[in-house]
Amino acid sequence: MDSRTRPRATPAESPPSRIERLCIERGLKMTGQRRLIARVLSDAEDHPDVEDVYRRALALDSKVSIATVYRTVRLLEENGILEKRDFGGGRARYDLADRGHHHHLIDVDSGRVIEFADEEFEALARRLATRLGFDLVGQRLELFGRRPAAEPPRAPARRRPSGTGT
């Protein structure tokens, strides 16, 4: 609230994040909190859920409400900037849309998420849809895996494995 945080005075503060640029391109009104959220998401290398984004945003500048994060994340999704993912467990996760088509392998022991893409799978998916009499308009592939027993899994990680991904 005082001078230390310096809300949004100098626009030359820091270079616009990738998402911020995309927002401007699309003519979205850029508020301080949108810029903040845009940065958090641009910098994210994982698949944060809304609360992750909220926490990281607070850590950077502190003055966003979770409602705004929800609204912004939805706005970005509607504008094709973000993609909403559903890995089960209630929370929605997000990642940049322009990272291209990819799927996920979830390490069931650590909760870590690995991205991958595969041509062969794309082709197979299309073939399967066709065989069933449909045009493929979307797909979702998730693999759940476990590292082959090298060391005994120390922490089965129950609630909220989130966080680290990639």
Q: Which residues pair with 102 in a beta bridge?
A: none
Q: Which span (48-56, 115-123, 129-137, 142-150) binds DNA, by CB under 7 A?
A: 48-56
Going 154 to 160 to 163 to 166, the CA torsion angle's sign is positive
Q: Which does 85 bind (CB under 5 to 8 A by kind): DNA, a copy of itself, none?
A: none
Q: By CB under 7 A, which span of 40-48, 59-67, 102-110, 118-126 interacts with DNA?
A: 59-67
**Binding partner of residue 50 among a copy of itself, DNA, none, CB cut-off 5 to 8 Å per kind:** DNA
Q: Pick one of a copy of itself, DNA, none as the site partner of residue 72 (Cβ within 5 to 8 A by kind).
A: DNA
Nearer to a copy of itself, 25 or 144 (CB): 144
φ/ψ of 74, rounded to 5, equals -70, -45
> Which among 96, 45, 107 has a CA at the least distance from the CA of 73?
96
* Locus of tokens 């680290």: 164
114 belongs to the binding site for a copy of itself (CB under 8 A): yes
Residue position matching structure tokens 């399967």: 128
Q: Please provide the size of the chain in residues.
A: 166
Nearest to 20 by CA among 48, 47, 6, 39: 39
**From residue 88 to residue 107, what is the string marking binding to DNA with x (rule CB under 7 A)?**
--xxx---------------
Name the residue nearer to a copy of itself (CB basis): 43 or 118: 118
Quick one: angle between helices 18-25 and 32-43, nearest 10?
Answer: 130
Annotate 86-107 with DSSP letters as a single string: --SSS--EEEEGGG-S-EEEEE
Q: Is 44 in the site for a copy of itself (CB under 8 A)?
A: no
Using CB under 7 A, list all residues that contact DNA.
8, 28-34, 49-51, 63-68, 70-72, 74-75, 90-92
What is the binding site for a copy of itself (CB under 8 A)?
Answer: 86, 88, 105, 107-108, 114, 116, 118, 120-121, 124-125, 128-129, 132-148
